[in-house]
Amino acid sequence: MSHNHNPETLGDKRLVAAIGVNIVLTFAQVVGGVLSGSLSLIADALHNLSDAASLVIALIARKIGRRPPDAFKTFGYRRSETIAALINLVTLIIIGLYLIYEAIGRFFSPQPIEGWTVVVVAGIALIVDVVTASLTYTMSKNSMNIKAAFLHNVSDALASVGVVIAGTLILLYGWYWADTVLTLIIAGYVLWQGFSMLPKTIHLLMEGVPEGVSIPDIIYVMEDMSGVESVHHVHVWEIAEHTIALEAHVVIRTVDLPDIERLKAELKRVLHEQFKVDHSTLEMELDSNVCIDTRETDSHRNQS
């Protein structure tokens, strides 16, 4: 009997399992919230539903991202996971804002809450959140999508702890306002997560310079190599998460073709070893033949 131990396949199975338990948990929390009248329990259910949806989107994006490059997507489809992360984060922020709206409404129109139902359902939710987080923890280390889902589950676990506390306060002291306060705290945590990860996702989609990479450092290292006169028009971006690309114009001193090829190979090696550049495109130029891009740039600057 053959066994499939492919990491991608095992990762997909973990995502499917995490999606399943989150959907079951969401249904249980909604029923418990309706029966008990607890808004914080329904709020936690909506957060769990967003987790399940984000895992579904991440799973689809992973499958799309594994498609090879073709005539339409010459760099491949790996950026689909970044697009999925953007969708997940925007949805998360919308849910957070909706929860705040509902919580404010409860301040003006409080409703009775069944404390024991809140405590029991939230306790079950805490167990499920821990299981889901354990399923996605390893995968979250190298994926923006999975990391977002993992952090969602961690926040869900914390939210479930808060809901248990609110239910306990209702049982012991009749503090029904605690449910509304916990809802606001959950919403605040959701918004904090969404807004903290959103800039990184947009930065990648806008082809910004990867975190930890300095263009002046790259130029310094390249110009320090023997045979290089200067470097300009340097562009560095991420084709997809963890895949850095670079293009640059390199002014050289030599005109011998074998020496040019050796210099280009050495530059590519240094860029990969020191700056983790996976894909580099270098245009080699002679000092006496300034590239047309430079002339156009200088002309534009002189006119402005």
Bridge partners, 238 (sequence order): 244
Burial 203-242 (b: 16+ CB within 10 A, else e): ebeeeebbeebeeeebbebbeeeeebeebeebebbbbbbe
Number of neighbouring beta carbons within 10 Å of residue 256: 9
Q: In what order do the strands lie in the sheet with 243-252?
A: 228-240, 243-252, 277-286
Residue 49 pLDDT > 60? yes
Residue 235 pLDDT > 90? yes
pLDDT of residue 25: 76
* pLDDT tens by residue, 200-218: 889 988 888 988 889 999 9
Widest distance between CA atoms in the chain? 86
pLDDT of residue 110: 58
Residue located via tokens 């490059």? 69
* pLDDT tens by residue, 245-301: 999 999 988 778 888 899 999 999 999 999 999 999 999 888 655 666 655 554 444
CATH class label, 215-303: alpha beta
CATH of domain 7-205: 1.20.1510.10
Return the domain boundaries, the chain: 7-205, 215-303
Residue 275: exposed, middle, or buried by beta-carbon count in 10 A (0-12, 13-18, 19+)?
buried
Band (178; pLDDT cuts 50, 70, 90): confident
Band (115; pLDDT cuts 50, 70, 90): low
Please tell me the distance from the alpha carbon of residue 122 to that of residue 205, in angstroms, as a whole number.
37
